[in-house]
A and B are shown apart, each in its own frame.
Chain A
Amino acid sequence: MSFDMPTKSNNVDHEMQQFLMAEQQKAQIQQQLHALTDVCWEKCMDKPRDKLDYRTESCISNCVERFMDTTKAIGVRLQQKYKEM
């Protein structure tokens, strides 16, 4: 979900701009949570049981951490590649 942010502050009053920025940030976090839950569910969940067992839970939290590490590592790698060009 994305929407254009107003660039000229005289078009939209300050309070509205603050509100839109805060809502956009919240929406981005929500979006990221949907994506991460999707990825880590696929990695960690076997058959759904009557409880989330400890093993699955720690798999999920490791999955989140390593996914973010991966994103970071790819960012570094891309920067290196970009410099080589």
Chain B
Amino acid sequence: MDLSSPHPMNKADGASKEHMMDQLRQQIAVANATELLQKLSDKCFKKCVTSPGTSLGNSEQKCIAMCVDRYLDSWNVVSKSYVQRLQKERQ
């Protein structure tokens, strides 16, 4: 992620500050989406395309769709457990 923006941060007025914040949020969102896509490709390729043929077969495509759904489910389970744990440790 490129954060070396040429904007001088010290003299940012309200509007350009908002703009910088939006830009940063957007860059982080893109970085997150990219990371997720990479993980999904890696994981679902491993699970579903065991011996790559000349095209993706029907069952491979079905497997990929389920794999994506289950990975997102897993993400949510992890997220819930992780946040609960962080809260518990903060007490």
Contacts and interface: CB of A to CB of B under 8 A. Distances in A.
A13 B12 contact: yes
Contact of A32 (B9, B48, B73, B82): B82
Contact of A37 (B20, B47, B63, B71): B71
A10 B78 CA distance: 39
**Interface of A: prevailing SS:** helix
A15 B10 CA distance: 11
Contacts, number: 96
A50 to B, nearest CB: 6
Contact of A33 (B67, B73, B79): B79
A57 B73 CA distance: 9
Interface in A31-64: 32-34, 36-38, 40-41, 44-45, 47-50, 52, 56-57, 60-61, 64
Interface of B: 1, 3, 9-10, 12, 17, 20-21, 24-25, 28, 31-32, 35-36, 39, 43-44, 47-48, 63, 66-67, 69-71, 73-75, 77-82, 85
13 contacts: A6-B9, A16-B21, A19-B24, A27-B28, A34-B35, A34-B36, A45-B70, A48-B44, A48-B63, A52-B73, A61-B81, A64-B78, A64-B85
